């Protein structure tokens, strides 16, 4: 039985459009789980943290956390906290960012509203050119539709779409969702996942429990 290697960059032979994302990330505040893939047919997928994780300035110390076995389509964007100009001022202009220019002692962090980290669960599918905003948590097994703009948390195994993204439907019944969340197959050893992959693909939950 062949065991997949999550430590290589390109999971498919002679296909440079898909990468195991964790192996092209070197930013301390971006964390990606095993076997999560990113596909890009426009730009080099290896440049994900430069092209897809935007406004990620060190001063905010915010994090992007992505779980295991996620599928991220071409052009998906993650807008971090520095995209959020403050609403607590009479002006949205980033005066604190240019404190040297204006000869005032201000903290640049005051220029932005900090919404928190972006947290993506496991086995999440993020569609083509979807946008995820700072502070959003997406639950395990969720699906984000093409060009959706996600401004609020997404529950596990929920399909969302639109601008702003809204729930379309749940993928399974509440009972099955609870069983899947308890199962956490993505945390199994690779050998066990490989052995049970036909049951996963067939939707045979009984065989997995």
pLDDT at position 111: 81
Catalytic residue among 27, 56, 85, 104: 85
Per DSSP, 60 falls in state: G
Give domain limits for the chain: 18-85+112-171, 173-209
pLDDT at position 94: 86
Which burial class, exposed, middle or buried, applies to 209 when counting CB atoms under 10 A from its CB (0-12, 13-18, 19+)? exposed
pLDDT at position 28: 95
Cβ-based neighbours of 96, under 8 Å, separated by 6 or more:
106, 107, 108, 109, 110, 111
Q: Is 104 noted as a catalytic residue in this protein? A: no
49 alpha carbon, distance to own chain's centre: 12
pLDDT at position 118: 98
For domain 18-85+112-171, the question of CATH label 2.40.170.20 is answered with: no
* Residues comprising the chain, all counted: 209
pLDDT at position 88: 86
* Element counts in the chain: helices (H) and strands (E): 5, 15
pLDDT at position 4: 85
pLDDT at position 1: 61
Q: What are the C-alpha distances in Å from 17 to residues 36, 50, 116, 130, 199?
A: 14, 16, 31, 18, 28
pLDDT at position 107: 77
Cβ-based neighbours of 154, under 8 Å, separated by 6 or more:
136, 137, 138, 139, 142, 144, 160, 165, 167
Q: List the chain residues with pLDDT less than 50.
A: none
**Site of tokens 């509203």:** 113
- pTM for the model stands at 0.93
């Amino acid at each position: 039985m062949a065991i997949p290697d999550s430590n290589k960059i390109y999971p498919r032979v002679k296909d440079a459009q898909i990468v195991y994302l964790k192996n092209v990330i070197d930013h301390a505040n971006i964390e990606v789980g095993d076997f999560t893939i990113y596909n890009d047919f426009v730009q080099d997928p290896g440049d994900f943290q430069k092209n897809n994780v935007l406004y990620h300035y060190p001063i905010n110390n915010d994090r992007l956390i992505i779980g295991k076995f996620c599928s991220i389509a071409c052009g998906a964007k993650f807008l971090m906290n520095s995209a959020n100009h403050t609403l607590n001022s009479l002006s949205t202009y980033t005066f604190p960012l240019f404190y040297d220019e204006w000869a005032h002692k201000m903290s640049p962090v005051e220029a932005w509203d900090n919404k928190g980290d972006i947290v993506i669960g496991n086995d999440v599918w993020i569609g083509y050119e979807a946008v995820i905003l700072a502070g959003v948590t997406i639950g395990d097994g969720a699906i984000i539709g093409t060009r959706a703009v996600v401004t609020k948390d997404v529950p596990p195994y929920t399909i969302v779409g639109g601008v702003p993204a809204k729930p379309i439907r749940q993928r399974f019944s509440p009972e099955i969702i609870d069983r899947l969340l308890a199962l956490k197959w993505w945390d199994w050893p690779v050998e066990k996942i490989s052995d049970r992959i036909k049951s996963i693909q067939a939707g045979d939950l009984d065989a997995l429990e």
